[in-house]
Structure 1
Amino acid sequence: MVILKVANQQAKTSKAAEQLICAKEARIVKLTEDVDFLEKKNADLQARYTALFKLNHLSQECLDLDSFYPQVHNTIASLMTAKNFFIVLYDQTFDTLEFVYFIDEKDEKPSGLIDYQDYEGSFTNLVIESKQPLLLTPELEQKLFDNYKIKQFGSRGTDWLGVPLLHNGLVIGTITIQSYDEKTRYNDSDLNLLTFAAQHVVGAMVRLQDQQRLQNAVNARTKELMAQIREREKSELLQESLYRISELTTDIELDIGTFYSKVHNIIGQLINAKNFFIAKYEHDSQTLHFSYYQDEHASNLIKDFKPRKLSNGYSELVLRRRETVLLTYSEMMSLHLAGETAKPQDDIHSWLGVPLIYSGQLLGVMVLQSYHYKTTYNQQDAELLNFVSNHVSVAIKRRELADFERRSHELLEQQVKLRTLALEDEITQRKQAEKLLQHTAAHDSLTGLPNRTVFLDLLNHAIACAKRKDDFSFAVLFLDLDRFKVVNDSLGHHAGDLLLKIIARELLAIVRDKDTVARIGGDEFVILIEDLRSNEEAFDVAQRITKFLQQPFTLDNQLVYTGTSIGISFSNKRYDDANTMLRDADTAMYHAKDNGRGRYEVFDDSMHQKVQNALSLEADIREAIAWQEFIPHFQPILQLDNRELKGFEALARWQSTKRGFVYPNDFIPQAEETDLIQEIDLQIIEKACQQLKLWQDKLGCHDLYVSCNLFAKQFFRTSLPQDIAKVLKDTGLAPHNLRVELTERALLENAEIVLTNMQALKDMGVKILLDDFGTGYSSLGYLHRFPIDVLKIDRSFISNVHEHDNNSAIIRTIVDLANNLQMATIGEGIETLADAELLQQKGCIYGQGYYFAKPMSPDDATDYIIEKMSN
C-alpha cells in the first residue's frame, strides 16, 4: 500500500515537471516571435527613415525636375508597392493639369496641359478639391459611382491611393499609386506614409521649380541678347559693305572694270555671288551691253556675254517690270510656257535680278545665278541686292558724268585764263589778308583753322562792310557736332581729334575759297559766307555739310556715325558787333538740336524770345522754390487681385502765383537742365511725408506708404541720407512709410556713391524702387549689386502689349526675375481693365494708372482714402 502511494506521488511529480517544461518552451517560442516582430518592425522603420531622408536631399542631388520625379518614384517604391505611379501638377491660375510623371501598366500618359474642367469627377479632382488624402477601395469606388460623385477616367483598378501636394495652404498637385492586382492592396498605414512622404516632396519640388523658372528667364534673356548680337553683326557687315561701295563711287579715277570687280567682291561677302553680271541698257539702240560678268558654266564668256538686242530674256523681264525679279527653275519654266520669256537653261537652279535705276532713269540690270541646289536665293537676298543696286547705279552715272566733265575741262581752262587778269587784283588783296592772318598766329593748333579771335575780327569787318554797302550780304553758320562725346568716350580723345581734323578738311572743301571756316572750341565750328547773292547759297552750304556729316567715318578700324546741328544768322542792320551775331547763330543751332538734330535752322526773333523765356522760367522756378509753391499730387498704387489701396506715388505740381498752374512737362526739363530739380524733389518729399502723417493721425491709415521720385544726381550727393532722415524726423513719419524711386541712369554713374547712399537708406528703413525698368540697360548685374526692393514695369510695355506679342513675354520675364530676386513689381500706366487683368495674370502684384485714378490733389486723395476705407 505504501509502495502504491509512493508510485502515485512520483507520477504526479513527473507530470508537473513535464507541464513546467512545456510552458517554458512555449514562452521561449513566444519571446522568439516577439523579437522577430520587433526586429522586422525596426527594419521597416529604418527603411522608411532612410527613404524619407533621401526625399529631403533630392532637391540637392537632382539637377532638374525630369530627374527628380523618377527618384521620388524609386524612393516611395522602396516603402510600398508602387508599380503604377504618377505625379500631376495643378496650376490654379490657369486652371490646368499636367501629368509630369506617369508610369502605368495599362494606360498611356496624358500629354500636354489639360483643362482642369475636363477632369471634373476624377479621383484626382476629388483629392484637389478636398485637399485631403484619398484611399479608394473597390467598395468605396462603387458607392461614389452610384452617387454620381465620380466618373471613370482610364482603366479600372483594384485600389487607388492619392494624396495632395500642399504648398502654403494651396494644392499644387497630387501623387498617386494604383493597383490592378487583388494581391496588392493598400491600407491606412500606406495612406499615412504616402501623405507624410508628399510633405517632403513638396519642398524639394518647389525649390527645383523656382530654379527652373529662373533658368528659363535667364535662357530667354540670353537667347534674346544673342539674336540682337547676330542682328547687329549682320547690320554692321551690311553698313561696312555699303560704305565700301560708297567709297568706290567717289573714286572717279578708279578704272570701271576694277570698280565692277570690287563691287562683285563686296556683294560676294553678303550673298553667294559666284555667277554674276552687270548689263547696261542702251535706250537709243535697245541693246544690252554686258559691262562685267563671271560665270562658272559659260563655255565661252566673250561669246555668251556679247551685246544683244532686247529680246525675251530674263534680264529684259527685269527691265520691263522695273523691279526686282526672284525666280526658281520651275517659275522660269512657267514664264516660258506662258510665252513671256525664253526657255531657261537646264542647269539653272535659282535666278535673281535687280534693275539699276538713277533718278528714275533705267541704266541696266544686275544679276546673280545659281547652278546648285545648295544655293537658293530668297527674299532677303533680293532686298539686299536691290539696296546695293542704288549705290552701283550712282557709280555708273558718275562715270558717265566724268566723261562730260573732262570734255568741259578744256573749255573751263580757257575761261580761267580769260579771267586771270581780272582776278589778279583780288588775289593780291587775298594774299595781303593771308599775310595778316599769318602774323596774328591765331590759328587752331589741331585743325589749322582760324580761331575765335580771328573769326570775330573778320565778322566785325563784314558787319562794317554791310553797313557801308547796301548790296553786301553775308551769313554766319554755327556748327555743333552731334554725338561727338560718344566718340571721345568710346574710342578716346585721339579718335576724336582725328575726326575733327577730317571734318575741318572737308568743310574747307565744301565752302568757297573766299569763305572762312573757323574752330572756336571743342566740337564747334563757324563759317562766314560772304558776298551772298541770295540766302539760298547759305542754305546750299548748310545742306551739303549736313549731308556730308550723315555719312559714316572709319576711325581706328571702327565705323563711326556723327552728324551736325547748324544755326544760321544772316547779316542785318541791327547787328553792331560780331559777338551778338555769333550768339544768335548759336541760339539757332540749339533750336536745331531741340528739333531733332541733323538739320539747320535760321535765327529769328522767336528763338531769341525762347531763350528769354527759358531765362524767365528759370528765375520763376527759383522764386517758386523759395516760396514753397511746388506741391505733391497723389496717384494711388493698388494691389491688383483685390484692388486694395497700398500707397501713393507723389508727383510734383506747380501752382505759380505768376503763371497759374504749370504742367510738369513745361517746367521739369528746365529744372533738370539747371539742377533745380533737386531742390524741388526735397520739397515734394517733405510735403508728401507731412500729408501722409496727417492721414495717419486723422484717418488711422498707418499701412499706407508714399513713393517719391528722385532725380539721378540726387544719389550722387553724399548728404542724401542725412537730408531724408531730417525730413522723416521733422514730419514724424516712420521710414517704412516712405519709398524713393530712381531710374536706371542713376546706377550707371558714380556707382560707389550711389550704392553707399542706397544702402544707407535701406538701413534707415526706406524702401527703394527702380522706375521705368526695361527701357534702359536692364542689366542683371546691378539688380544683384544694388539693394532694390521693387521693379516698376514701364508703361511702354503695358500700353503696347496687345499690339506686340513680345511685350507680354517681357512682362512675364520681368515678373519672374523680380520674384526670383525677392522683389515686388508695380505696373505703371494701366489704362484699361484688360491691362490690369493681363498684369495680374502675368504675376504682377501691384499697379497704378488712369484706369484706377489720375493724380489727385491732397484733398481729393483724402476723399479717395475715405471711400476706399468704407468699401
Structure 2
Amino acid sequence: MLFQIAQLAAQASAPHAYCQAIIDLLATRMPGKNGFVALADEDGPRLLWAQDRRVSAPPESLRHGLTDLLLKRGRSMFLHQVEISSMLSRGQIRLIGALPDSWMGVVLKHEDKVIGALVVQSYEKERYCAADLNLLDQLAPYIAQGLTQQLRQRPCLGQGPERSDRILSVLYRITELSQSNAPLLELYGGFHQLIGELLMADNFYVALLDDSGKQLHFPYSCDDHSPVPEARPLGRGATEYLLKLNAPVLLNYQQMLTLADEGEIELLGRTSQCWLGAPLSHDGVALGALVLQDYNNPIAYGEEELKLIGYLAHHIAGVIRWRRAAERLTNNQQALEQAVLHRTQALEHEINERRRIESQLRHDALHDELTTLPNRSMIMQRLHQVLSIKARDPNFHYALLFLDLNRFKVINDSLGHLTGDRLLAQVAHRLSGCVRGSDTVARLGGDEFAILLEHLSCDNDALQSAERIQAVLAKPFYIDGEEIYSGTSIGIAFGLSQYQSPVELLRDADVAMYRAKQAHRAAPVVFDNSMREAAQHRMKLENELQRALELNQFEVHYQPVWNLASEQLVGFEALVRWRHPERGLLLPGEFIELMEETHQILPLDRWVLNQACQQFAQWQRKYPRLARVGVSVNLSSEWFNRADSLDVVMQSLKQSGLSARSLLIEITERSLLHQPDQAASVLRQLRRLGIKLMMDDFGTGYSSLSYLHRLPLDVVKVDRSFISRLHEDQRAEAVISAILNLASALGMKVNAEGIDNPKQVAMLKQMGCQYGQGYQLGRPLPAERVSDFLAGKSHTR
C-alpha cells in the first residue's frame, strides 16, 4: 500500500484526484467509500475534497464538527454512532452532513506540521475497529507526504523573467491553437488546459452571449462541484455582473454575499470561496466571459491573477471573434449549397417518406409501444437466428435472461397504472444501459422482460451481467416526487445445443425466473433440468387441486382447545386436510402455499368456513353443553382484499344457524400487510356481529405489536416455535411471559399451540396461560370421530 500511495502521489493529475484514489485504495481494506480530506486553517478545517453517498453537496464549513475536534486534539479518533450521538447531545460538536454508523479520522502531518485531516465513514452498519485505525495511523505520514507533493505541484506564476516567458509561451500556444482545424467548441478545452499552466483552474467555464445579446449560454464547463449551467436569459448572476462592468472581477465568498444582499447579483448553484472572471471583450464589445472558481480557498487568486486573466481573456476573445466569423461564413456557404440541393431533395422526399412509413410499420410490428424496446416477436426472431448460428458453430455461446419485476402489482394497485407505465419505461431505459450493442433487450408483456446476451466468452459473463442488472434495478426510481423501489427476479437459460426452438429456450428461462422469485433473494438462478421437472410437478399439483375442489376431496379435522387451569374444553380449531386419491391424507403444508399463489385459497376457505359452521351447529344442537364452546376457522389474507368478505361470513352463519358468538376467526399478521386499514375495518365489523377474533402465529412477524393495540382482538395465539423451546430455552420463556403480560394489559386471552409434552403444560399453567392445544392435549379428529369424543366414547390422544 505504501508503494501504491507513492505511485498515486506521482501520477495523480490534481490534489482532488489524489484524494479520490486514496479513498478508493483504503476501501479495499476497510468498510465504506465515504470520506473527505480537509486542510488545517486558523479559521477551522477547510474542505479540500469529499465523497459522500448520503450528502449531495459538500458542506460550506467544518467548524465545530468532528474534524475540527480531531485537529484540536491532534490525535487519531474512531467513533461509533452511539458515541457521536452522545457528543451531539452534550453539545461537544455539531452534526455536519448525515449521521454515520461509524467514523474514523487521522491527523495528517508533514515535517512535524499539521497540514490537515483524513476522514472515512460508513453508513452500512459496518464498523471500524482498532486494527483499521492502526492501519490508517501507519499510512497517514505517507498520505500527508503525497498530499504535500500534490499541493506544491499546483500552478504558481513565479517572478521575473521566468514569469514572462511562461505567459508568452501560453499566448503563443493560444494563437497556434486557434489556427488549427479543430471546431471552436473543442478549442475551449485547449484554452482551459493552457490557462491551467498559469493559474489554478480546476473549476473553469466559458460563457458566451448569443447574437441578440439577450441570452447567455455555456459552451464549456469543467467543475468538480456543479453541473454544466443551462442557457438562460440575461439575469443577475455573477457572470452578468461581470459583463455589466466589462472589466475583470475578483470576489471572495463574503463579497458575493454582500452583493447578493444589495441586489446586485443572484447566487446560483454552490457559492465559491474565491471567484475570478474576465470579460471576453473585443473592440469594447463583450462577447462573453472566462471564469475561474475555488470552492475551498478564499485567497486562491489575487491582484496578479486578476491582471493576468484579463490579459489572457483579451487574446482569447480575439480568437473567438475570428473563429465565430469564419464559422458564420462557412455556414452561409453551406446554406447556399443546401438551397441548390433543395429541389432535388423535394423530389426524393415522397420516396423517402414512403420508405419511412414502411420502416415505421415494420418497427411498430416488432417493438413495444410503451418502452420502444423490441417485443416478443422481435426476440423470437433473434432467438431463431442464434439457434441457427449455434447449429453451425458449437463454440458460439449465448444466454437468455428472463426478468420479472418485483412488487409491480402492488405499485400498480397502490399508485395507479400510469405510474406503473412510467416505471416500466424507466426500467427499459436502465436495462438498455446495462448491455452491449450486440445484445437484445425486449419487453415480453406486462412486467416481464427478456435479454439475449450473445458472444459470451464463458457462462460467468451472463451471471455477472444478471447481477449488474439486479443492482441497477434495486436502486430507487423517482416518479412524480415518489421514491419507488422494485427490483427484479432473473432466470438464465444458456444456449445449449439441445434447444431446437425459441419457445423451449424462453420456457426454461421463465422456469428459472420463477425459481428465483420463489427464493425471495436478489440472486439470478440458472436453469437446470430439475427445475423443469419441478415446474411440471407444480402444474400437475395445480390441476389436482382444482379437481380436488370440484370433487370435494378436502375434509375438515377438528383439534380441541382446552382451558389449561380448569382442564375444560373451550373450543375446536378447524383444520383442512386433502384426501388425495393416490397419496392419501395430506397436511396443509403440502398445498396451502400453492393455493394462495394461484388464488385457489378463496373457494377452499369458503368451503372450510361453511363446513365448520354447519357441523358445529349440528353438534351444538345434539350436545347442549357445547353452547359455551366455539369453533375457530383460519381465513387467508386474500379475504381482506375483497369487498364481499363480511357478506360471506354472515351467509355461512345464516345458512348453518350457528350463533356468531360460537365462531372465532383466526388471522395472521400477513393478512394485514398490504391493506391494513381495509383489513382493520372488516375485523371491526365482524367484532360488532359478536364474532371473536384471534391473531395466529403471534411473535413471528415484524410488526405484530403495532397491530395488537389497534385491532379488536379477543385471543392471541403464541406460535409453536416458542412453545417447542419452552423447557429448553430461557429466551422462549421470556418471550411467552412478555406476551402474557401484554395480552393481560390489553384485556386479551392467550392460546398456546403446539403443546407436545406434560412439561410444557405445567410451565404454561404456572405462567398463567389461559388456553392450549397440541398433540399432548388432543390430536385433530375427523368430523365423524368428534361426536364419539363429545359423547365420551373416544379420546383424541
User: Does structure 2 retain, via aligned residues, the 8 Å contact 1:696–1:702?
Assistant: yes
Partner of 2:577: 653
Q: Which of 633, 637, 644 is the aligned partner of 1:708?
A: 633
Cα gap change, 1:754 to 1:715, in 2 (>3 Å)? farther
Once the two structures are superposed, residues 552-578 of structure 1 have per-residue CA deviations (whole angstroms, 9 ceiling, x without a partner) of 667778776543321112234554443
**How far apart, CA to CA, are the structure 2 residues paired with 1:586 and 1:646?**
50
Amino acid at match of 1:621: L
Q: Which of 731, 742, 748 is the aligned partner of 1:803?
A: 731
The structural deviation recorded for 1:581 is: 2.3
- Alignment of structure 1 residues 45-56 onto 2, 5 Å: none
Q: Which of 692, 701, 706 is the aligned partner of 1:767?
A: 692
User: Does structure 1 retain, via aligned residues, the 8 Å contact 2:515–2:525?
Assistant: yes
Cα gap change, 1:447 to 1:685, in 2 (>3 Å)? closer
User: Does structure 2 retain, via aligned residues, the 8 Å contact 1:812–1:843?
Assistant: yes
| Local SS of the residue matching 2:596 | helix
1:668 aligns with 2:558: no
Q: Which has the higher helix share?
A: 1
Structure 2 portions without partners, runs of 5+: 1-29, 38-46, 84-101, 107-115, 147-354
Partner of 1:482: 406
| Local SS of the residue matching 2:405 | strand
Partner of 2:666: 741
Partner of 2:363: 440
User: Does structure 2 retain, via aligned residues, the 8 Å contact 1:637–1:846?
Assistant: yes
Partner of 2:71: 295
Q: Which of 453, 461, 465 is the aligned partner of 1:537?
A: 461
Cα gap change, 1:460 to 1:827, in 2 (>3 Å)? same
Cα gap change, 1:579 to 1:717, in 2 (>3 Å)? same
User: Does structure 1 retain, via aligned residues, the 8 Å contact 2:492–2:512?
Assistant: yes
Cα gap change, 1:663 to 1:248, in 2 (>3 Å)? farther
Cα gap change, 1:547 to 1:276, in 2 (>3 Å)? same
The structural deviation recorded for 1:527 is: 0.9
Cα gap change, 1:246 to 1:805, in 2 (>3 Å)? farther
| Local SS of the residue matching 1:296 | helix
1:258 aligns with 2:49: yes
The structural deviation recorded for 1:648 is: 0.8
1:634 aligns with 2:539: no
Q: What is the TM-score with the length of structure 2 in the denominator?
A: 0.51
Q: CA RMSD in A?
A: 5.5
Amino acid at match of 1:853: G
Cα gap change, 1:295 to 1:645, in 2 (>3 Å)? same
Identity of paired residues, percent? 33
Partner of 2:199: none
Partner of 1:814: 742
**How far apart, CA to CA, are the structure 1 residues paired with 2:743 and 2:732?**
18
User: Does structure 1 retain, via aligned residues, the 8 Å contact 2:404–2:490?
Assistant: yes
| Local SS of the residue matching 2:452 | strand
Partner of 2:345: none
- Alignment of structure 1 residues 451-600 onto 2, 5 Å: 451-484=375-408, 500=424, 503-550=427-474, 562-573=486-497, 575-600=499-524
User: Does structure 2 retain, via aligned residues, the 8 Å contact 1:566–1:599?
Assistant: yes
Partner of 1:856: 781
Amino acid at match of 2:576: A
- Alignment of structure 1 residues 123-134 onto 2, 5 Å: none
Partner of 2:770: 845
User: Does structure 2 retain, via aligned residues, the 8 Å contact 1:742–1:771?
Assistant: yes
Cα gap change, 1:529 to 1:836, in 2 (>3 Å)? same
**How far apart, CA to CA, are the structure 1 residues paired with 2:646 and 2:389?**
61
Once the two structures are superposed, residues 743-782 of structure 1 have per-residue CA deviations (whole angstroms, 9 ceiling, x without a partner) of 345556396698468636853x543434344536547789
The structural deviation recorded for 1:515 is: 1.0
**How far apart, CA to CA, are the structure 1 residues paired with 2:414 and 2:647?**
36
**How far apart, CA to CA, are the structure 1 residues paired with 2:52 and 2:489?**
38
The structural deviation recorded for 1:541 is: 1.9
The structural deviation recorded for 1:480 is: 1.9
| Local SS of the residue matching 1:479 | strand
Cα gap change, 1:769 to 1:616, in 2 (>3 Å)? same
Once the two structures are superposed, residues 487-524 of structure 1 have per-residue CA deviations (whole angstroms, 9 ceiling, x without a partner) of 66777778766765555444334322211122334443
Cα gap change, 1:678 to 1:508, in 2 (>3 Å)? closer
**How far apart, CA to CA, are the structure 1 residues paired with 2:508 and 2:35?**
37
Cα gap change, 1:384 to 1:478, in 2 (>3 Å)? farther
Once the two structures are superposed, residues 470-497 of structure 1 have per-residue CA deviations (whole angstroms, 9 ceiling, x without a partner) of 4434221112233455666777778766
Cα gap change, 1:805 to 1:494, in 2 (>3 Å)? farther
- Alignment of structure 1 residues 13-412 onto 2, 5 Å: 245=33, 258-259=49-50, 274=65, 295-296=71-72, 382=128
**How far apart, CA to CA, are the structure 1 residues paired with 2:644 and 2:76?**
76
User: Does structure 1 retain, via aligned residues, the 8 Å contact 2:636–2:667?
Assistant: yes
**How far apart, CA to CA, are the structure 2 residues paired with 1:587 and 1:352?**
45
Amino acid at match of 2:571: G
Partner of 2:93: none
**How far apart, CA to CA, are the structure 2 residues paired with 1:274 and 1:715?**
51
The structural deviation recorded for 1:680 is: 2.1
Cα gap change, 1:782 to 1:272, in 2 (>3 Å)? farther
Amino acid at match of 2:522: G
**How far apart, CA to CA, are the structure 1 residues paired with 2:560 and 2:695?**
18
**How far apart, CA to CA, are the structure 1 residues paired with 2:537 and 2:737?**
45
**How far apart, CA to CA, are the structure 1 residues paired with 2:477 and 2:117?**
28
Partner of 2:752: 827
Q: What is the TM-score with the length of structure 1 in the denominator?
A: 0.47
| Local SS of the residue matching 2:49 | helix
User: Does structure 2 retain, via aligned residues, the 8 Å contact 1:353–1:366?
Assistant: no
**How far apart, CA to CA, are the structure 1 residues paired with 2:746 and 2:777?**
24
The structural deviation recorded for 1:638 is: 1.1
Cα gap change, 1:526 to 1:689, in 2 (>3 Å)? same
**How far apart, CA to CA, are the structure 2 residues paired with 1:730 and 1:547?**
54
**How far apart, CA to CA, are the structure 1 residues paired with 2:584 and 2:485?**
44
Once the two structures are superposed, residues 601-644 of structure 1 have per-residue CA deviations (whole angstroms, 9 ceiling, x without a partner) of 22233322222222221221222223222112222211122221
Amino acid at match of 1:749: Q
**How far apart, CA to CA, are the structure 1 residues paired with 2:387 and 2:400?**
11
User: Does structure 1 retain, via aligned residues, the 8 Å contact 2:557–2:574?
Assistant: yes
Once the two structures are superposed, residues 148-189 of structure 1 have per-residue CA deviations (whole angstroms, 9 ceiling, x without a partner) of xxxxxxxxxxxxxxxxxxxxxxxxxxxxxxxxxxxxxxxxxx
User: Does structure 2 retain, via aligned residues, the 8 Å contact 1:274–1:295?
Assistant: no
User: Does structure 2 retain, via aligned residues, the 8 Å contact 1:588–1:601?
Assistant: yes
Partner of 1:615: 539
**How far apart, CA to CA, are the structure 2 residues paired with 1:532 and 1:627?**
52
| Local SS of the residue matching 1:741 | strand
The structural deviation recorded for 1:794 is: 4.0
**How far apart, CA to CA, are the structure 1 residues paired with 2:586 and 2:491?**
30
The structural deviation recorded for 1:444 is: 4.2
Cα gap change, 1:583 to 1:832, in 2 (>3 Å)? same
The structural deviation recorded for 1:731 is: 5.2
Amino acid at match of 2:685: Q
Cα gap change, 1:258 to 1:268, in 2 (>3 Å)? closer
